[in-house]
Amino acid sequence: MRGPHNIWRLIRTGATFERTGAMDLVLDAFSTPPALRVVAKILAKPFAWLGLRGDPEMPPATRALTALGPAYIKFGQVLSTRPDVVGDELAIQLRVLQDKLPPFSKEIAKQTVEDELGAPADSIFSEFSEPVAAASIAQVHRARLIKTGEEVAVKVLRPGIERAFRTDVDAFYFAALLVELFSPSSRRLRPTDVIKHFDGVVKGELDLRLEAAAAGEYAAKTTDDAGFVVPRAHFFFSEQRVMTMEWAEGIPFGDVEAIDAAGHDRKAIGERVLQLFLRQALNDGYFHADMHQGNLKVSAAGDIIAYDFGIMGRIDEYTRRVYAEILFGFIRKDYRRVAEVHFEAGYVPADRDIDEFAQALRAVGEPIFGMDATQISMGRLLSYLFEVTERFGMETRTELILLQRTMVVVEGVARTMYPQINIWKVARPVVEDYIKQNVGPRALVRDLVATAQVLGRFGPQLPKLVEDTLSAKSRQNQKAAKSRTSSLAPIAYFAAGLGVSGVIALLVSVL
């Protein structure tokens, strides 16, 4: 229930940060303005005694987020990939949230397996280890199938995780409502829609049958991606709260010392993970949307292994082209074109000045070029980007949230692997290749042919469809409908008679 009782939940959130000692660390990490810092302290300090105590053996930020619950942990996982935004100290603390949270017992996991698969775990697995990784939603056990002897990873949801997430998300909805109510200027950010999007993503993540299906689809789409491995899902041994996949041996992405010791080229790995994400997002429109260090490994052969497919992103072809043109414009420093694309896609209200917007984009892009990545303050850059979106009335695009979030995470992962990485230089060949194939004359011909094919399939029905449409119009305006009928019906009959091959031939001759 999204009622006032959630005020207690929000008060306790601030109180928990204060009690665990995480409040100052977080405020410092985000360079919080003095006025906002004072307000935060005033609201939190008197209620510190109400805050959750957490595990005193954990660092402050990790202690606070784990005490508050899984939805807060998810947020911390994203921040853990961006030391350039939150600082090295906080990023290192938060990295524990990726796969080193306190586990639940092996006995509970085996009982969940029995409840879900309808047979005792010992009748399915000859071996079933203690937890080898534990995150916000589930934990993983190393096991071996009796039937085939194959070594597998068994993922099991945490007990009561569904209700815990529901409680957190309800509080987030209430917070979004308060923000929209008391801060009208924030409504362009659509806080409630953002939480609704997050809610939908989480619901999908809590059904491991969907994750197994996502793993299968992702593996099929990335078969030709060199140096990239997706473990195979065992659908027969997967249900809503249990998923079984082949075991993939490798070094965790977060263990850079072990990666160095194994002789891997971290620069090459950092560049590859960024290019793989861009290639999958642009070419396939389907990408891993939770690509932090805890969900990636490096195999002995130097391949990147991805797992945990609970959050996957999809973007339609039109959005991919818009995204690619924006990236391409930044790469070429063509800020006018970047501005035009924003206006064409409706991301910026039409009544704003396009030249001023292009100038603002130049102020964002220019500091990045020709500068070592370690010299760029991503915190200041993101702060300025926020100012730009507010100045030009840009609203949050919920269809882009996962893409933008993942881009931030993947860039952070690549920087962790190689801090001096030049993201624009690495992205250029992928974006240029996509632009060459999907934007321009070649793409126009392909789109026209596809349109002609659709018209051809519906050709015999076109006359009736047009006549039905015109008849409906006639009920509103009889005189106008008659004139349209006389002019449009022959065109419909002509298109229907021409057929697919005729339309294609006509398009080719015109081009």
Active-site annotation, residues: 290
Residue 83 — φ and ψ, nearest 5°? -65, -25
Task: Give the torsion through C-alpha atoms of 388, 391, 397, 400, to 10 deg.
Answer: -10
Measure Cα distances from 68 to 14, 64, 110, 135, 376 in Å. 10, 6, 27, 14, 32
What sign results for the dihedral spanned by CA atoms 385, 387, 388, 389? positive
Tell me which amino acid residue 322 is. Answer: V
Beta-carbon contacts of residue 174 (< 8 Å; ≥ 6 apart): 2, 3, 4, 6, 7, 9, 10
Return the structure tokens found at 287: 């990408």
d(CA 98, CA 81): 10
Tell me which amino acid residue 509 is. Answer: S
d(CA 26, CA 13): 13
Return the structure tokens found at 186: 């924030």
d(CA 158, CA 147): 27
Return the structure tokens found at 481: 């409908």
Q: What angle do CA 282, 285, 290 make, to 5 degrees?
A: 95
Report the largest interatomic distance among the alpha carbons of the chain, rounded to a whole angstrom: 82
Angle between helix 191-205 and 401-417 (nearest 10): 70
DSSP helix/strand/coil, 401? helix
Count Cβ atoms within 10 A of the Cβ of residue 1 and give its class: 0-12 exposed, 13-18 middle, 19 or more buried: exposed
What sign results for the dihedral spanned by CA atoms 370, 374, 377, 378? positive
Beta-carbon contacts of residue 246 (< 8 Å; ≥ 6 apart): 150, 151, 152, 153, 231, 232, 234
DSSP helix/strand/coil, 233? strand
Task: Give the torsion through C-alpha atoms of 147, 153, 154, 157, to 10 deg.
Answer: -170
Return the structure tokens found at 54: 């957490």
d(CA 366, CA 506): 46
Residue 128 — φ and ψ, nearest 5°? -150, 105
Beta-carbon contacts of residue 410 (< 8 Å; ≥ 6 apart): 273, 274, 277, 291
DSSP helix/strand/coil, 65? helix
